[in-house]
Structure 1
Amino acid sequence: MHIVNERTKGFISIIFVMLIWGSSFSVTKLVVQEVSPFVLATLRHLIASAVLLPFFLARRRKVRHALPYGHLLLMGLSGITVYYCLFNSGMRYISASSGAMIEGLIPVAIAIPAALILKEHLYSKTITGIVLSVIGVILVGFVGNAQKSDNGLLGSALMVGAVCLWGAYTLLSRSLKNMDTILVTSVSTFFGTLCLLPMFFYELYQHGMPTISAGAWAGMTYLGLFASALAYFLYNRALESLPAAQVGNFLNLNPVIGAVIAFIFLKDTFTGWQYAGSVLVIAGIWLSARSAKAKR
């Protein structure tokens, strides 16, 4: 019963993460129009760090052993510093829905290294689910995106780079699955934020502090509080209970949720290819979930 409860908590956690991160594409697209990618990444994670600090202090007092700071530094660099510099920069050049679709390629960046490095077995249904989901992402993100431009290609390349970094972050987090989730989330966030500060101050030195509207501040607060602090905690919590490949496959919900929200609030186009791709993405997630249930 304990295993079932832990798995259920893992599924609930990753579903909430998908809802939060699905909305973050549209919020980021709006904020990055008036705030540079580096300033946005830094202010967002300063907010997240402030939220996580009291939880970290309370939990750290109960832990007597030394923390793997080098490992957590790598997590902060890959999953926060470099990832969000690439992500925010990419979102300047492509639509929120296109960004969401490209992010749907993350399961490939997780599942293959997880099998090679962490020796996680890829069952046939999991492989089939990943293939279906990736085909769906290609239909939605590339075939469905008829408009091509130099900036669009640059934005797509930056997003693909972010995808690779997120795969590295996930594997690093998965290898700490027996460590307290709050400590993993907070320390990696602190390190990632610290590494953003040099770029932040350089940006201020070059251009000065930008005038930020109330709406942009609200967006950054949402991104820091929910899309960073809460979502990172829930994501690492899910990785404690579920295989990395399965958690990665749930990330394919990002294209669907992100595109729907962008369609509703930003009036992004939603083509027939995107509808067809969304069906394949959902089918892939369903197969992956059935695979994990069957093997237990």
Structure 2
Amino acid sequence: MSNTSSSLIFDKGRAVGAMILSSACWGLATVMSKAALGSVPPLHLLAIQLASSITFLWTIALLTKQYPSWKWQTLKYSLTGILEPGFAYIFGMLGLVMTTASNASLIGTTEPIIIIAISWIFLREKVTKTFLLFTGFALAGVILIISQDLNLLQFNSQSFLGDFLIFIGTFCAALYVVISHRIVGSDRTLSPLSLAAIQQTGGFILVTLVWWAGILGREVMNLPGLNIGVWLLAIASGIVQYALAFWFYLIALREIAAGTAALFLTLIPVFGVGGAYLFLHEQLTLWQWIGATLIVSAVSGITSQQK
């Protein structure tokens, strides 16, 4: 085996590992955020999390000398952070006020499909029948995992508007993935760490403006009065959910197709329910175990094709 082939296999393997770590961070951070939301309102929590994330990312970037060059192109890259975590979260928040968490969960399962469709149309990424089959298995697994909440589904005029807003947020998240894939693939001078820091700084500015303007309602919170344990949980969840998760994700996007990366997103609920089972002692149903097995099998199948 040539050195070039060995290098390619190593790069693909590292990308797959980074993608799995990213999904694990998002899934486990969901459990952490759920615990923190018991003491901190949503926008306050998001602001703390993003502030913690960008502080962590910029610190690591400065220590490792991976800071970006300050030019107009860099500022344009920061605009992708407005898509996610910016608009993706804001529209999601607005939608959740009008609809149920179950509706939101089901709509969220469309993100991999949207990413694959956009990648196929605009990036001309090849979509094989085998890949579509694995994607179908993975999405079926996601639906089985959230199946215990399906009896809570509600549909009315207000719910429809909420569902539409959540779909817009999901579309923004999918668009973020495709654009970020183009950036990390075309600009090799910019490290994934630097890009994550730039993007989340843009997202933090947007979220801060929304919070200050009271667009989602004015939350009242005595931050100095928060328990130190809650502060640590909020800060840690921000580093895990935003800094580490997006950093790993951008590392993976440099080496694997956006459509393939989309399939790995279905691992998030697997780690989420696993974390809830281990740390919050939430019980899993048989269908959830079957769903998790389907997702892991589908991702394993795609991973084997990456070698």
Determine helix, strand or coil for the equivalent of 1:229.
helix
Aligned length: 288
Determine whether 1:67 maps to 2:78: no
What is residue 136 of structure 1 aligned with on the other side? 141
- Does 1:116 pair with 2:121? yes
Write out aligned runs for 1:178-193 (5 A): 178=188, 179-193=190-204
- How does the TM-score come out when normalised to structure 2? 0.81
Measure how far apart 1:286 and its partner are: 1.9
Alpha-carbon separation, structure 2, partners of 1:138 and 1:160: 16
Q: 1:176 to 1:267 in 2, by over 3 A?
A: same
Q: Displacement of 1:260 after TM fit?
A: 1.6
In structure 2, the CA distance between the partners of 1:189 and 1:207, relative to structure 1 (3 Å rule), is: closer
Could you give the per-residue CA deviations for residues 200-257 of structure 1, whole angstroms, max 9, x where no partner exists?
2245994443343333212211122222112211110110011111111111111111
Q: CA deviation at 1:90?
A: 7.3
Please, what is the CA RMSD of the aligned residues? Answer: 3.1
Which shows bigger deviation, 165-174 or 221-230?
Answer: 221-230
Identify if the C-alpha distance between structure 1 residues 205 and 83 changes in structure 2 by more than 3 Å, giving closer, same or farther.
Answer: closer
Which residue is equivalent to 1:209? 221
Are 1:270 and 2:284 counterparts?
A: yes
Q: Which amino acid aligns with 1:185?
A: A
User: CA 1:89–1:262 in structure 2 vs 1: closer, same or farther (change >3 Å)?
Assistant: farther
Instruction: Pick closer, same or farther for the CA change 1:198–1:51 going to 2, 3 Å.
Output: same
Identity among equivalent positions (%) equals: 19
Structure 1 letter corresponding to 2:11: E
Deviation of 1:188 after TM superposition, in Å, equals 0.6
Q: Does 1:23 pair with 2:28?
A: yes
1:168 paired residue number? 175
Q: Which runs of 5+ in 2 are unaligned?
A: 1-5
Distance 1:271 1:144 in 2: 8
- 1:84 deviates by 2.8
Alignment-mate amino acid for residue 229 of structure 1: A
Partner residue, 2:85: 80
2:192 is aligned with what amino acid?
A: T
Superposed, 1:29-48 pairs within 5 Å as 29-48=34-53
Paired AA for residue 223 in structure 1: S
Match of 1:228 among 237, 242, 254: 242
Residue 13 to residue 272, structure 1, CA distance change in 2 (3 Å)? same
Between 1:97-106 and 1:254-263, the stretch displaced more is 97-106
